[in-house]
Amino acid sequence: MNPQKPHFLLFSQSVSDEDQSGRWHFVLEPLDGGQCIEASDSEPDYEGERLELLAVVRGLEALDQPSAVTLVTNSQQVTRGFRNGLAHWRANNWKWERFGRYVPVKNQDLWKRIDRALTYHHVECRTWRFDPPHLQKTTSVQCDERTTSEGNAASLPIAARLKSAVGSLKSWVMGEGELSNGWARTA
């Protein structure tokens, strides 16, 4: 008998500060109602796609058994890498064709870690964007030992914005509801 793999939603997000340091954050939400796994950290001199990839890598590496994972990210580069890049990059010794020349894949070390994790986990990737003009007003959200009473998630730290969206994204991914709280499906 082949036991069914546990299914997790992996929400990842990153933000770069003006002082050239960035933060990554992930939330692993089990669909069976088990305990949520969450982590975040800052990385000096990292920004953009590398932070996004680091959040995904850390989330996948936090799983202690082979699992089915629905990755929810706001990075189109990460989604494109999952959908269109990994197999080609691996086949071409981690290079891709750019204007007729093969060049090394950017952030190759992190993509290789993701590729290694895919030998254990089945990952489906979805892209989302955070849309502040469509935020719902809330009473208060606590994050990183700080509280805001304005209810404006656009001004909240990264962890609070992600936490505020996890419930509605989880319902939508499972086909049980519509999106709210400023998140919109893009792909």
Q: Where are the alpha helices (DSSP H) in the chain?
A: 49-61, 76-80, 86-91, 108-117, 158-173
Which stretch, 28-37, 84-93, 109-118, 173-182, has highest mean pLDDT?
109-118
β-pair partners for 15: 23
Q: Which residue has the higher pLDDT, 106 or 147?
A: 106
159 falls within a domain? yes
| Per-residue confidence band for 169, with pLDDT thresholds at 50, 70 and 90 | low
pLDDT value at residue 33:
82
143 falls within a domain? yes
Task: List the domain range (segments joined by +) for residue 58.
Answer: 7-185
Q: Which of 31-40, 124-133, 175-184 has the lowest mean pLDDT?
A: 175-184
Domain of residue 99, CATH code = 3.30.420.10
pLDDT at 89 over 70: yes
pLDDT at 95 over 90: yes
pLDDT value at residue 129:
63
How far, rounded to the nearest angstrom, does the alpha carbon of residue 142 sit from its chain's CA centroid?
Answer: 21
pLDDT value at residue 161:
55
pLDDT value at residue 139:
27
Which stretch, 21-30, 74-83, 106-115, has highest mean pLDDT?
106-115
The mean pLDDT value for 29-48 works out to 86
pLDDT at 28 over 80: yes
pLDDT at 136 over 80: no
1 falls within a domain? no
pTM of the shown model: 0.72
Q: Which residues contact 58 (CB under 8 A, 6 or more apart)?
A: 24, 26, 39
Distances (CA, A) of 8 to 17, 30, 48: 29, 4, 25
Share of the chain above pLDDT 70, in %: 66
pLDDT at 183 over 60: no
The mean pLDDT value for 113-127 works out to 93
Number of independent structural domains in the chain: 1
